[in-house]
Amino acid sequence: MSEKCYRLGCDIGGTFTDFVLLNDQTGEIYINKCLTTPSDPSDAVEQGIKELEDKVPDVTSKLDEVIHGTTLVINAIIERKGARTGLITTKGFRDVLELGREIRYAPYDIFAEFPQPLIPRRFRLEVDERVRSDGTVLKRLDPAEARAVVRQLIELGVESIAVCLINSFENPAHELMIKEIIKEEAPELSVSISFEVLPQIREYERTSTTATNAYVKPLTGRYLSKLSGRLKGLGFKGRLFIMLSSGGITSVETAAEFPVRIIESGPTAAVISGQYYGRLFNIPEMFCFDMGGTTAKSCLIQGGVAGVVPTFEVGRVQRFMKGSGLTIQVPVVDLMEIGAGGGSIAKVSKLGTLQVGPESSGADPGPICYGRGGTEPGVTDADLLLGYLDENYFLGGEMKLDKEGARRGIEEKIAGPLGVPFMKAVWGIHDLINETMAAAAKTHIAEKGGNPKVVTVAAFGGAGPVHAYGLAKKLGSPRLIVPPNAGVGSALGFFTAPRAFDLVRSHKVSLNEADFEEIENIFKELEREGAETLQKAGGESQIHFERSVDVRFVGQGSETNIPIPEDDFRAIEKQEIRQRFDKEYERLYGRTYPDSPMEFINFKVRASLPQRLLQLPKMDRKAGSLKDAEKGKRDAYSGIAGGFIPFTVYDRYRLFPGARFPGPAIIEERESTVIVGEDATISVDEYGFLWIDLDRS
């Protein structure tokens, strides 16, 4: 066996930090889970790796790669714990962060709040320069004025500076000049210029994204440096990679330079796992459902491919209200987030009705049953009282749950105030969170052109397998699958994610006037930048480039993305581009407008290295007797029966390929528990996946 044969995936969530250790030569997988340490996430990383050392001695020195997903960046934005940041912009554009798109997300709410900009107005300064939309200079930047502005920000005590000048995506000369001045005046200051972060049209989105990058850059750099140091201290000599929001992985250096790219780093991993399973089992439509302790994330995967969108929001004032957050324009997997997790808090609303979430008790203190000081009843408390969880086998028995504490909490905070029977309140918490998730899921699936009645639901996360059966029933889905080690299933996505990086450059020109030679040069430049980025990630292999263009009708407000499979843009006829656009536009919107002229807006390249294939290990257990896998019976609540009935409890580690049995059943493994009602049948495949078929009659 070669010296470095292991890869480690590490996913920091809001409640738990998950670890999956893969032996690339044997396919063996080892897993671990420990509570997240919010004050310093690297504490949990070090603790988890030390615990893995007990299972696989000296494994740290045998690690080839550590692939890391983190919520650090998004938490810093939401909690406003980033750096004191300054912004240098063109004269007249100081307030673009507050003006935004001048759209009210709630037009009839006169008290509607908007998020405060990450950079207060006193730290936003202007320089008197101007570049036209075609890149020609209308007013040159005075270096002396720029130096004075930089010194003013330094005197204000900023730790990081964002530079975003009007139309700099066409001509970055002035931004590059200011960057050089900052390096001369204060070499230790962190700098983000929009031409490097997002050389793309739309002033508000470009400024907001660059400002966000600058805001979290010092914090991210310190954390990644500290994490690298702690790993080296443990004896790690391999390479550290970070998960990108777009579904690829990149080097620590790139992540530190562009932390805005890793805002959705953690949640993306489950979707990448779902993509892999969708292709492996040839599932046309899969609804990937990952429910942890704090939130539930989901994504519709069609034909083994998850959608990627060019923009998203973070830090919403109204959590699920589009338009109430900070706009970030970077490629991100098309995730839907619901404020629903094991720690979601149940309470009586002002209207006297039951409400569950979106507030969460998180990892500290957690639900009441964790026994860590939590006083607000949550979803996990209800699941425990419904008989779905074994208080003596949570996390494989490492964490004893307080059933009596959960009982008192729900009685005092929910059942009593509502004036309803105790078990009605408990079931109401579980069923309401399923209903909330199902309503959001139906909307998400419909928006992507899917059908909830044909999707296969794939469950991930510690709480996902507990709720997936109820969710699938409410969606009307015929089938549910639960992979092995589902409680840490999202971390498996790290091993199937490609080393990749997405690049974009705006250049607005009509099809009729476009110079295809010039466009080819833009693509070549993007490919060169992509190759340099991947080389930092150890890219010795052949680099693959995927090209696409964002096009629209002249004057239209939004674009349509068209893939460009050709290696040379000059070889394409203009009429061919027009036909591709019309075909895609008609597919999306039902009709097109062949007489209306079209224009190019953005040119995009995805640079990627060959994937390191993950070979799922097959079960080595021979067919046996189901009696050997039974742990006994446990009374648990049935929504169909409206009360408690006996559920057969199975040890998942004792199940074998070809096993088939009916519900009601509870299948337990260390990190998660699968609940299946009496109207479903469970079968086990050669990889250990549970395939649960629901009776829809």
Over residues 680-694, the pLDDT tens digits come to 999 999 988 999 999
Torsion angle, alpha carbons of 378, 380, 385, 387, to 10: 160
- Other Cβ atoms closer than 10 A to 602: 22
HEC per residue, 524-553: HHHHHHHHHHHHHCCCCCCCEEEEEEEEEE
Express each pLDDT in 1-12 by its tens digit: 457 788 898 888
Q: Is the pLDDT of residue 456 over 60?
A: yes
Q: Do residues 122 and 87 make contact, with C-beta atoms less than 8 angstroms apart?
A: no
Q: What is the mean pLDDT of residues 430-453?
A: 87
What's residue 659's pLDDT?
Answer: 92
Q: Is the pLDDT of residue 92 over 90?
A: yes
Q: Is the pLDDT of residue 14 over 70?
A: no
Average pLDDT over the chain, rounded to an integer = 88
- Other Cβ atoms closer than 10 A to 133: 12
Of the chain, the percentage scoring pLDDT greater than 90 comes to 47
Q: What proportions of the chain, in percent to the nearest 5, are helix, strand and coil? A: 35, 25, 40
Q: How far is CA 247 from the centre of its chain?
A: 8
Dist CA 303 CA 286 (whole Å): 8
- Tokens (6 digits) for 554: 């002249």
Residue with more model confidence, 667 or 373: 667
Express each pLDDT in 285-322 by its tens digit: 999 988 877 777 888 898 888 888 888 887 777 766 77
What's residue 1's pLDDT?
Answer: 45
- Tokens (6 digits) for 177: 């000049």
Q: Is the pLDDT of residue 368 over 90?
A: no
Express each pLDDT in 159-172 by its tens digit: 999 999 999 999 99
- Tokens (6 digits) for 42: 């690297």
Q: What is the mean pLDDT of residues 641-669?
A: 93
Burial class (CB in 10 A: 0-12, 13-18, 19+), 613: exposed
- Beta strand 63-69 with 239-243 is parallel
Q: Where are the alpha helices (DSSP H) in 56-94?
A: 72-78
What's residue 670's pLDDT?
Answer: 84
How many C-alpha atoms does 323 have within 13 Å on its Cβ side?
Answer: 10
Q: What is the mean pLDDT of residues 410-425?
A: 91
Measure the N-to-C terminal CA separation of the chain; round to a whole number of Å: 53
What's residue 372's pLDDT?
Answer: 79
What's residue 363's pLDDT?
Answer: 55
Residue 542 pLDDT level (bands cut at 50, 70, 90): confident
Which residues contact residue 37 at a Cβ distance below 8 angstroms, ignoring those fewer than 6 apart? 17, 43, 44, 47
Where do the domains of the chain lie, and which CATH numbers do they carry?
1-66 (3.30.420.40), 77-221 (3.40.50), 500-608 (3.30.1490)
Closest to 434 measured CA to CA, from 402, 391, 477: 477
Q: What is the mean pLDDT of residues 498-513?
A: 91
What's residue 107's pLDDT?
Answer: 83
- Other Cβ atoms closer than 10 A to 548: 16
What's residue 35's pLDDT?
Answer: 79
Residue with more model confidence, 462 or 579: 579
- Helix, coil or strand: residue 525: helix
Q: Is the pLDDT of residue 410 over 50?
A: yes
- Tokens (6 digits) for 689: 């996946």
Dist CA 646 CA 666 (whole Å): 10
pTM recorded for the entire structure: 0.82
Dist CA 89 CA 141 (whole Å): 11
- Beta strand 479-482 with 544-553 is unpaired
Which residues contact residue 620 at a Cβ distance below 8 angstroms, ignoring those fewer than 6 apart? none
- Beta strand 598-608 with 690-694 is unpaired
Residue with more model confidence, 322 or 463: 463
- Other Cβ atoms closer than 10 A to 582: 16
Express each pLDDT in 483-493 by its tens digit: 888 777 667 77
- Beta strand 85-90 with 160-164 is parallel
Q: What angle do CA 301, 17, 74 make, to 5 degrees?
A: 70
What's residue 513's pLDDT?
Answer: 93
Q: Do residues 45 and 65 make contact, with C-beta atoms less than 8 angstroms apart?
A: no
Q: What is the mean pLDDT of residues 218-230?
A: 91
Give Cα separations from 60 to 5, 8, 10, 29, 387 (angstroms).
11, 9, 13, 15, 39
How many C-alpha atoms does 97 have within 13 Å on its Cβ side?
Answer: 28
Dist CA 471 CA 438 (whole Å): 6
Q: Is the pLDDT of residue 538 over 70?
A: no
